[in-house]
């Protein structure tokens, strides 16, 4: 150790970086589909409940743990959890906070490269669905298959490397170039530029969508208000039911909780890592709430008004309910084909998605770089190189097993759906019951302008959030794990994906062991003390 | 679009825009330096 510690450059910079981490493809493609398919506007009731009872408390918990890391001069999840838990065993639990960002990055960057490929194709005119509207869906599907390789496994199709490989290489190079520049000069500077550009692109597309003329086809005439109505009108889940019956369906509440988890990037350990680069006296409550609010703005105010209304306007119900990737990469190109100046708006849309994705993927890399620096004493160059090699192998696994996106789907399920719930539960239980909810509250309030009452904070952290989380985890597993577990038992790609996850976890556990020996026993230092930097770095 | 749809949309957007505006107003008017003076970056 003994290396200079990094910090964010500005107060706004860290907020934009954390918001950039949270705002991703799911804000624009996953949320609208979830809302429209789970009661329409009524979905917002369980959604906001989940935000208040799960999302915000977990954000506060991760920001508070990051603050503890900042005080001790450590930034990696194992080192921070060791400090919070006061025992070296927690460092091994922290390996989950390395596993999930790494594995999620392995497939997320591939999806990111699709966005770049689409943006480039719109810019150059390569994405042309032809002159026959009856063949738009077929052409859009074929283009997506060409970009993603979803038609078959392998890197080579018809004697040549498929397009996604080139765009993947460019995307990977951009990610590692930025991460190599460091927290302030790389991530923060990029997010300070990317977030306003994303906002501008989304607003331009939003204005275009809201001013579109009515469309007429065999099914009738549909205007923008009909599109907004399809998204926001309360509607029953099943024919013949009352719309309010949707609120009595546990799957609707489960979908809302899952969406909140997914969208806020909680349960990955990335917020904790970013928060640890704040100066220790900074206000984590306000910063965390502002970052969450920014994410919600992109999701509800932009994602909720653009995607589904535009798809419904041009294509009706079938186009609007095409699933996350179907909606984003098959339906929307058809919408842009119909739309006046669609090539320009298509470029703006997919370029915005690319920026949203890269600000998220950077946050998946930084926690591991910080760990390699702290645990092994690597310089940034060596840490970035090791991470690059490891993730490239994972990327190749995802790209190779591209048929029906099987590798991507399995990794996403075990990490971004099950894993974040498990790790989120461990985080909040650690902070509330091991570190102490009252100590956590006192620490969070240091330097804070927004000051939640102690009883609210402790009640949420000790009882409400863990209970809701465990119920959600149990219900999620009950409804979803069966199919994936069955596929796992049958072998093939699901089993390879699980083997990859286990191998990465084992690798990190070994490295945590090395770091644990290097760091020595955890010293029980009162959380409000702030020892000198040298002492902190000598004993994380 | 039904009246209930309008109510749900306006309330949802209003809530999120209000929260976001409030948070940024507090961040931008917060006492103390806006930057982390002395921030050191160990990138190459």
- H or E segment and range at residue A156: strand A156-157
- Choose the closest CB to A232 out of B5, B26, B34: B5
Q: Is B41–A182 a contact, with Cβ atoms under 8 angstroms apart?
A: yes
Q: Is A42–B8 a contact, with Cβ atoms under 8 angstroms apart?
A: yes
Question: Is residue A341, in this structure, part of any structural domain at all?
Answer: yes
Tell me the C-alpha to C-alpha distance, in Å, between residue A476 and each of A57, A250, A251, A470. Answer: 20, 10, 9, 10
Q: Is A6–B42 a contact, with Cβ atoms under 8 angstroms apart?
A: yes
- Choose the closest CB to A228 out of B4, B9, B27: B9
Cα angle value A111/A113/A115 (rounded, 5°)? 75
Q: Is B20–A296 a contact, with Cβ atoms under 8 angstroms apart?
A: yes
Beta-carbon-side half-sphere exposure of residue A329 (alpha carbons within 13 Å): 24
Confidence bin at B43 (pLDDT 50/70/90): very low
What tokens were used for A149? 């390789």
**Which is nearest to A443 in space by CA: A385, A502, A528?**
A528
Q: Is B40–A7 a contact, with Cβ atoms under 8 angstroms apart?
A: yes
Tally of CB atoms within 10 A around A293:
23
Domain enclosing residue A261, as ranges: 11-236+253-538
Beta strand A160-161 with A215-217 is unpaired
Q: If you write DSSP's letter for every residue of A62-96 in order, what string do you get?
A: HHHHHHHHHHHT--SHHHHHHHHHTSTHHHHHTTH
Residue pair A275/A435 in contact (Cβ under 8 Å)? The answer is: no
Q: For residue range A360-418, list pLDDT tens digits in order.
A: 999 999 999 999 999 999 999 999 999 999 999 999 999 999 999 999 999 999 999 89
CA distance A7 to A64: 16
Higher pLDDT, B44 or B20: B20
Show Cβ contacts of residue A172 under 8 Å, excluding neighbours closer than 6 positions: A109, A113, A388, A391, A392, A395
Question: Is residue A433, in this structure, part of any structural domain at all?
Answer: yes
CA distance A339 to A103: 37
Closest Cα in chain B to A450: B26
CA distance A173 to A355: 14
Distance, CA of A47 to chain centre: 17
Q: What pLDDT score does A392 carry?
A: 95
Q: Is B36–A290 a contact, with Cβ atoms under 8 angstroms apart?
A: no
Q: Is A338 an 8 Å CB contact of chain B?
A: no
Q: Is A528 an 8 Å CB contact of chain B?
A: no
Partners of B38 on chain A (C-beta within 8 Å) are 7
Partners of A6 on chain B (C-beta within 8 Å) are 39-43
Question: Is residue A246, in this structure, part of any structural domain at all?
Answer: no
User: What φ, ψ does residue A157 adopt, rounded to 5°?
Assistant: -125, 130
Residue pair A290/A275 in contact (Cβ under 8 Å)? The answer is: no
Question: Is residue A275, in this structure, part of any structural domain at all?
Answer: yes
How many separate domains does chain A show?
1
Q: Is B2–A226 a contact, with Cβ atoms under 8 angstroms apart?
A: no
Residue A28: give its domain's CATH number. 1.20.1740
Question: Is residue A6, in this structure, part of any structural domain at all?
Answer: no
What torsion do the CA atoms of A251, A257, A259, A260 make, to the nearest 10 degrees?
170
Question: Is residue A245, in this structure, part of any structural domain at all?
Answer: no
Closest Cα in chain B to A295: B20
Q: Is A167 an 8 Å CB contact of chain B?
A: no
Q: Is B39 an 8 Å CB contact of chain A?
A: yes
**Which is nearest to A433 in space by CA: A410, A405, A466?**
A466
Least Cα separation, residue B43 to chain A (angstroms): 5
Q: What pLDDT score does A150 carry?
A: 87
The count of CB pairs under 8 A between chains A and B is 127
Q: Is B10 an 8 Å CB contact of chain A?
A: no
Q: What pLDDT score does B34 carry?
A: 58
ipTM of the complex: 0.90
Q: Is A290–B23 a contact, with Cβ atoms under 8 angstroms apart?
A: yes
- DSSP bridge partners of A160: A157
Q: Is B28 an 8 Å CB contact of chain A?
A: yes
Least Cα separation, residue B38 to chain A (angstroms): 9
Least Cα separation, residue A162 to chain B (angstroms): 35
Q: For residue range A435-482, list pLDDT tens digits in order.
A: 999 999 999 999 888 899 999 999 999 999 999 999 999 998 888 888
* CB burial of residue A253 (10 Å; 0-12, 13-18, 19+): buried
Q: What pLDDT score does A322 carry?
A: 77
Q: Is B3 an 8 Å CB contact of chain A?
A: no
Question: Is residue A2, in this structure, part of any structural domain at all?
Answer: no
Confidence bin at B39 (pLDDT 50/70/90): very low
Residue B44 in this model has a pLDDT that exceeds 80: no
CA distance A270 to A273: 5
Summary count for chain B: helices (H), strands (E): 1, 0
Tell me the C-alpha to C-alpha distance, in Å, between residue A99 and each of A387, A424, A512. Answer: 12, 14, 12
Q: Is B8–A185 a contact, with Cβ atoms under 8 angstroms apart?
A: no
Question: Is residue A1, in this structure, part of any structural domain at all?
Answer: no
Q: For residue range A31-51, list pLDDT tens digits in order.
A: 999 999 999 999 999 999 999
**Packed helices A380-400 and A163-181: angle between N→C axes, nearest 10 degrees:** 160
Q: Is A234–B30 a contact, with Cβ atoms under 8 angstroms apart?
A: no
Rounded to two decimals, the pTM is 0.92
Write out residues in chain A with pLDDT < 70, as ranges: 1-4, 156-159, 524-540
Q: Is A7–B36 a contact, with Cβ atoms under 8 angstroms apart?
A: yes
Residue B38 in this model has a pLDDT that exceeds 90: no
CA distance A397 to A393: 6
Closest Cα in chain A to B24: A290
Q: Is A233–B2 a contact, with Cβ atoms under 8 angstroms apart?
A: yes
Residue B32 in this model has a pLDDT that exceeds 90: no
Q: Is B44–A380 a contact, with Cβ atoms under 8 angstroms apart?
A: yes
Q: Is B25 an 8 Å CB contact of chain A?
A: no
Q: What pLDDT score does A11 carry?
A: 87
Least Cα separation, residue A480 to chain B (angstroms): 29
Q: Is A297–B17 a contact, with Cβ atoms under 8 angstroms apart?
A: yes
Q: Is A11–B20 a contact, with Cβ atoms under 8 angstroms apart?
A: no
């Amino acid at each position: 150790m003994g290396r200079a510690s990094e910090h964010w450059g500005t107060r706004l910079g860290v907020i934009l970086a954390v918001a950039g981490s949270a705002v991703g493809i799911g804000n624009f493609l996953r949320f609208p589909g979830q809302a429209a398919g789970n009661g329409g506007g009524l979905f917002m009731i369980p959604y906001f409940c989940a935000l208040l009872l799960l999302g915000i408390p977990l954000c506060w918990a991760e920001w508070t743990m990051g603050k503890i890391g900042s005080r001790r001069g450590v930034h990696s999840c194992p080192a921070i959890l060791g400090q919070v838990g006061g025992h070296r065993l927690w460092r091994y639990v922290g390996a989950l906070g390395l596993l999930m960002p790494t594995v999620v990055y392995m497939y997320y960057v591939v999806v990111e490269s699709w966005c770049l490929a689409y943006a480039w194709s719109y810019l150059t005119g390569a994405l042309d669905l032809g002159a026959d509207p009856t063949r738009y869906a077929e052409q859009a599907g074929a283009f997506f298959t060409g970009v993603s390789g979803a038609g078959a496994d392998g890197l080579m199709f018809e004697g040549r490397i498929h397009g996604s490989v080139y765009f993947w290489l460019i995307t990977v190079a951009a990610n590692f170039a930025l991460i190599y520049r460091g927290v302030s000069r790389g991530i923060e500077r990029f997010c300070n530029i990317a977030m306003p550009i994303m906002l501008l692109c989304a607003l331009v597309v939003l204005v275009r969508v809201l001013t579109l003329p009515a469309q007429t086809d065999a099914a009738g005439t549909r205007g923008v208000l009909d599109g907004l109505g399809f998204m926001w009108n309360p509607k029953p889940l099943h024919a013949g039911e009352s719309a309010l019956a949707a609120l009595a369906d546990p799957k609707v509440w489960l979908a809302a909780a899952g969406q909140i988890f997914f969208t806020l990037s909680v349960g990955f350990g990335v917020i904790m890592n970013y928060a640890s680069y704040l100066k220790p006296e900074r206000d984590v409550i306000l910063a965390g709430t502002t970052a969450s609010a920014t994410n919600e703005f992109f999701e509800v105010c932009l994602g909720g008004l653009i995607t589904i209304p535009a798809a419904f306007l041009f294509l009706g119900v079938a186009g609007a309910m095409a699933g996350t990737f179907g909606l984003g990469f098959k339906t929307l190109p058809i919408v842009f084909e119909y739309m006046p100046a669609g090539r320009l708006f298509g470029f703006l849309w997919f370029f915005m998605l690319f920026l949203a994705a890269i600000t998220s993927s950077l946050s998946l890399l930084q926690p591991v770089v910080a760990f390699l620096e702290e645990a092994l004493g690597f310089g940034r160059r060596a840490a970035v190189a090791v991470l690059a090699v490891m993730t490239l192998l994972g990327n190749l696994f995802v790209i190779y097993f591209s048929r029906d996106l099987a590798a991507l789907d399995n990794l996403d399920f075990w990490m971004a759906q099950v894993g974040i719930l498990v790790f989120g539960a461990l985080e909040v239980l650690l902070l509330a019951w091991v570190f102490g909810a009252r100590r956590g509250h006192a620490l969070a309030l240091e330097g804070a302008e927004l000051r939640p009452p102690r009883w609210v904070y402790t009640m949420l952290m000790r009882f409400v959030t863990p209970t809701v989380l465990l119920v959600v985890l149990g219900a999620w597993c009950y409804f979803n794990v069966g199919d994936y577990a069955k596929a796992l038992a049958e072998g093939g790609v699901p089993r390879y994906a699980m083997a990859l996850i286990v191998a990465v976890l084992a690798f990190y556990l070994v490295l945590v062991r090395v770091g644990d020996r290097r760091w020595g026993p955890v010293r029980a230092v009162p959380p409000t003390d702030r020892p000198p930097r040298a002492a902190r770095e000598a004993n994380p | 679009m039904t009246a209930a749809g309008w109510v749900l949309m306006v309330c949802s957007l209003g809530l999120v825009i209000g929260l976001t505006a409030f948070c940024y107003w507090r961040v931008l008017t917060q006492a103390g330096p806006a930057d982390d003076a002395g921030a050191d970056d160990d990138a190459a």
